[in-house]
Structure 1
Amino acid sequence: MRIVLGVGGGIAAYKSASLLRLFTEAGHTVQVVPTEASTRFVGIATWEALSGHPVSTSVFDAVDTVNHVRLGHEADLIVVAPATADLLARAAAGLASDLLTNTLLMARGPVFFAPAMHTEMWNHPATQANVAALRSRGAVVMEPASGRLTGKDSGPGRLPEPSEIFAAALAAAAPVGAAAGRLAGKTVTVTAGGTREPLDPVRFLGNRSSGKQGAAVAEAALAEGARVRLIAAHMEVPVPAGAELVQVETALELRVAVHQAAAETDILVMAAAVADFRPGELAENKIKKRDDGADPVITLVRNPDILAEAVQRRAELGSGPALIVGFAAETGDGTSSVLEYGRRKLERKGCDLLVLNQVGRSLVFGQDTTEVRILSPQDAPGTEPIAVAGTKAEIARHILDRIADELDAPLPSH
C-alpha cells in the first residue's frame, strides 16, 4: 500500500519515526511529507534515511511531477501524526499553504489524523469543531491518549503509541484492502468497559475494568475488515478509530443497546464487565453521614443476564448474531477451579464461545497482558483448552482468529 505520512510541528514528531518504521517493515511504501515547523524537531535527513525516498515540505520541489497533486492522488492512505491544533485547523478550513495541506486536499483515499497537543488546545471549542468537521467529511480522527505532556502537566492530548496508530490507521484503510480481511463484510458488535450503577448523584458501584481488552478486540476486528460497533461503558482507553461508538453507563443501558444492535450484528462479543447487582433505590440527594453514627443500609438487586438474554432472544426470534462470544472473569476457590467455574458458566449462558480468564487485584483488570482459555460447547469431554498468554492486542487477534475459524466451519443450528 502507498502511504503518505504527514508530520506536524510538535515535539511528538519523534514518535513518528517509529511509526514510519512499522509501516515500512509491514511492506508498505511510505512517502513522508513533514511541515516546515516539524523539521525543527526531526530533520529531513532522518525521514529520507528511514523511508528511502526524497522528502520535501515545499510545493515548489519536484514541480515537473506536479508533486502537490500527485501525492494525494496516488496515496492509498494518508496518515498525519502528530496532527497539531494548527494543522487540524488548516485541514478543516481547506487551506493549502504547504505541501502537506495540498496533499490532504487532493486525497482520494482514506485520511487518518492522530492528534497531539496540550489538553487545553484539544478541549478548546475551536479544535473540537475542526475535528467534527473533518470527521463529517469522512476523515478518521483518533482520540489522543491521556498522560504526561510536555513539561509537568498531563491529561488528554498525548500522541498514542506508534503501534496503536499503526493498527488504527490500517483499520481506517480497510475499504482499500478489506478483501484480505477474514471478517470483510461482517458487522461485529463489541461491548467493553465496566458498568457503573449509581447510588446517589455522586456515588456509584463499579468494578476495576479498564476496557482495554474490549477495545483491543474492536481494533482487531477493524483490522480484519469488519464494520465495528463498540458499546462502551466506563473505559480508560481511547475508542479505536473507525469504530462506531455507542456510549452507555449502567447495565440496563447496556442491555438496551445490545438488544438494539443484535438485529444487525453478525458477531456479538460481550467483553464488558457488567455489574451483577445495582442499588435497589437511587437516592435523589447525596447520602450523608448520620449524626448518630448509624451506617446506611443499601439493598442490592440483581441485574439482568445480558449475555444469556442475547442467546435466548436469538433462539426465540430465529435470527440475530451468527456467533455470540462471552467473557468470564473468574476467581477460583476451595470449591472449584477457574476452569470449572468457566465451564459451568458456558453451559449456563449458552453462548458459542467463552473467553475465560482469572482475575484478581493484580490480574487482568487494567493490565496490558493477560492469559485466556477459549471454551466451546463442542469441546470433547475431559479436554483442557490451551492457555494463551500475551498482550491484550495479541489476545484480541487470537480471539478474532478463533471467531473467523468458527465462521468458516459449519455452525450448529440455534
Structure 2
Amino acid sequence: MPVLNRIADYAPQMREWRRWLHQHPELEFDCHETAAFVAARLREFGVDEIHEGIAKTGLVAIIDGQGEGPTIGLRADMDALPIEEATGLEHASTVAGRMHACGHDGHTTMLLGAAKYLAETRNFRGRVALIFQPAEEEGGGGDVMVREGMLDRFGIGEVYALHNTPQVPLGRFVTTPGPIMAAVDTLRVDLKGRGGHGAYPHDCIDPIAAAVGMISALQTIVSRNTNPLAEIVISVTQIHAGTASNIIPEEAWFGATIRTFDPDVRKATKARIEQVVAGHAAAYEVEAVIDYDWGYPATVNDADRTAFAVRVAEEVAGAAGVVADAGREMGAEDFSYLLEKRPGCYLFLGQGEGAGLHHPKYDFNDEAAPFGASFFARLVERAQPL
C-alpha cells in the first residue's frame, strides 16, 4: 500500500493548501500568515489543542489517541527564502523577492495531511505533537523552540522530520543512522590596511593582498591540519574590497562557511582559522577582526529510531523505495537541535526531476505530498499502536 487510501483522497486538498502557501512566502520568524493558515486548517480537522506563539510564530498541535501512551513529535518547517521566483507558474509567489525555493510549503502540507488523517482516525494510543516551525533557513527556529521548553512542555519523547529532495525518484525515502547532515559555522574576517594610489603600493598597506594570502592558507586546514578521514569543508564564499582600478582600498572583508561532523574537529578548525588569520595579519601588517558564528550542530539520527523509520517507510514505498544507509552529506539543518535532546530520525523524500533546492525555478512536486503524509501517519500508528 504505497499511500494510505484516505490520504490519497486528500490529494486535491493538499495541492490547494500547498499552492496557497507557495503564493504567500514568509521569511525567518515572521511566518504570521503561514501560521494562521496552518492553525485554521488544524481547527477544521478538530485537533485537541493548538499552542501558538512558540518561537514567535511557531505552533504545536496535539492530537489525542485512544488510551494512555507516550507523545511522538512530527516536525515541519514553514519559512521561505529571499529569492526572486522564476518559475512562471500560475501559483508562483505573489511577494517580490521571496519564494518557497526549498519546499517548506510542501513539508507543511505533508504534516497537515497527516494531521487531518490522524484527527479523523485516532488509530493510536498516547498523543502526537505536530510541530510547525519557523526560521529553519536563518535564525535557528528549532533551537528557539527547544530553548522555550517545547519538548518538555508537551512531553515529547521522540521526533521525526522529512525533507524533499529533487533528482531522487518520486516517493523514495533516503536516510542513514548516525550523522546525516553537517554542523555549519560562519566566518567573517574584516581587514584594515592603509589605502592609497594603485601606482604607489609601497606607500600603502594592501588588505586585498592580505585577504588573498589568508584565503589560500585556510585551504591548508583541510589538506594539512585535519585527518583525511574526517569530513570537513571550508568554502570562502564572499570577498569584498575596492572601488576603482587605480585605488588600493583601506578595507576588505571575506566570508566563509565551515562544515564538519566531529565536535573536536569543529573546535580545532576554529582555533586554526584564528591562528592563520593572526599570522597573516602580522605578516601583511593589517588589522584583522574575526567574527565566528557557531551555527547549527550536526544532525545525528538515532540508530534504533532510524531502523524503525525505515521499516515504516518500506510500508509506504516498498523495500526497493527506501535507501536505509545513504551516508552523510555536508548540508545543515536545525532539526539537529531537536535530535540533540530527543532520539529520532531525519529522512529525505524524493520528488523526481526538477530544479534543485534554493533555485529560482524550483517548485515542490505535489505528487510527493501523499507519500510524506502517509509516512507521518503510519509512523504514529506503528510507534504507538492500540
What range is the shorter-chain TM-score in?
0.3 to 0.5
How does the TM-score come out when normalised to structure 2? 0.34
Higher relative contact order (CA 8 A, sep 6+): 2
How does the TM-score come out when normalised to structure 1? 0.32
